[in-house]
Structure 1
């Protein structure tokens, strides 16, 4: 008769152990629905966020209209948009002149609109977009004279970049090229540093007074600058 207690193993007998998939499943992250075909870009969150990210989509209500909505987990219904707005005019009525991408951050969506140039693959302007409440707004990030390399304009040494400063989104001057180590930021760029607002026209508006916040005291939202 078999005992209901533990079964003893014979010497040399191997015991099969089920693999521990806990860490493997965690590393894979959440199971997410595929981004919709109408999506322009998937704004991915950092791996540690454990979220599915956000989808940047065309909004069918007009030219250059965009919306951002969360990507649902597998089996969940499609969420409502969290922000709507208008892409920069330089992108063209059908967004044909821009490449759009970005990230999903703790402060919300951060969208980059890179305006294609005619001389090379290097953009001629880059706009930074973010959600101010339920409004998606953009601000120009390149100011000043462009540097030149191999007879090609490669953009300015300094740009406005998004930072998390104590839980507030701020656009601050940041060095983009090696020249920034020996050249000061353009005065027009410095004057635009700080927390931007949304004007009565629904577009982004620079701060009334430039911030003097040191970017090294804040968290950089973008891993690299275009």
Structure 2
């Protein structure tokens, strides 16, 4: 074999000619299916987004690892059917939880006809805000908070009906010849596994006067008891900075 032919043979072995057949493509893993949410039922009155659970407490000096983004979940809704109110999640298919949650009945407060509704789903279950509009203005006339949390809640198995407690106490303030509601009100806070209502000023200038005694007496830890949301004989957390405000637009 000539030297030139040997060199050509070696080059051909190192650099084979391109094949007309397409190169094999590595299989691509399928993306996880997107959550499939049900359509809201007729009579839907409000959406209730679900809050992620609070992160666990860390020992002093410990650093928290970066949190992973939570999986997108389907919202809950408040709806009315045959004159009855209830809340339930819209999740189904592969996005649905392993167990099936029945609709949670809602027992609206007396005098809440009509009412504007808002809500959020927490680690303790759904929490609703009910606001009765004033008859002569766009302002609110009364406000209530609703939850269904017995002392030992099992909201994932047998949720308690949502019952309500008032947020407003005392006489309404007057501004621009319009009743604007009381200067002070109770506001909800989520403290670990407790719903706590605390006094807060809601109108400008409320700080120049003391909150009404009825409101001070009503402040505290709340849980469902029968057909009412009642203050419990339990201590209020001494450090309220560890309590979370609920994303509800209070009137």
> 2:50–2:120: 8 Å Cα contact kept in structure 1?
yes
Structure 1's unaligned 5+ residue stretches are 8-21
Aligned residues: 197
What SS is found at the alignment partner of 1:146?
A: coil
Per the normalisation by structure 2, the TM-score is: 0.66
Partner of residue 102 from structure 1, selected from 115, 119, 130: 119
What SS is found at the alignment partner of 1:198?
A: strand
Q: Distance in 2 between matches of 1:209 and 1:129?
A: 19
Please name the residue that 2:45 is paired with. Answer: 40
Partner of residue 129 from structure 2, selected from 99, 112, 119: 112
Pairwise CA distance, 1:223: 4.6
Pairing of 1:211-222 with structure 2 (within 5 A): 211=236, 213=238, 215-222=240-247
Q: Give the structure, 1 or 2, with the largest relative contact order (CA under 8 Å, sep 6 or more).
A: 2
Please name the residue that 2:12 is paired with. Answer: none
Q: Distance in 2 between matches of 1:76 and 1:30?
A: 5
Task: Flag the 1:143–1:115 CA change in 2: closer, same or farther, 3 A.
Answer: same
Please name the residue that 1:11 is paired with. Answer: none
Pairing of 1:190-205 with structure 2 (within 5 A): 190-199=216-225, 201-205=226-230
Per the normalisation by structure 1, the TM-score is: 0.73
Q: CA RMSD in A?
A: 3.2
Pairwise CA distance, 1:215: 4.1
Task: Flag the 1:178–1:73 CA change in 2: closer, same or farther, 3 A.
Answer: farther
Q: Distance in 2 between matches of 1:99 and 1:83?
A: 19
Q: Distance in 1 between matches of 2:216 and 2:239?
A: 12
Task: Flag the 1:184–1:42 CA change in 2: closer, same or farther, 3 A.
Answer: same
Please name the residue that 1:53 is paired with. Answer: 75
Q: Distance in 2 between matches of 1:204 and 1:223?
A: 18
Please name the residue that 2:210 is paired with. Answer: 184
Pairwise CA distance, 1:151: 0.8
Structure 2's unaligned 5+ residue stretches are 1-16, 24-30, 53-68, 150-158
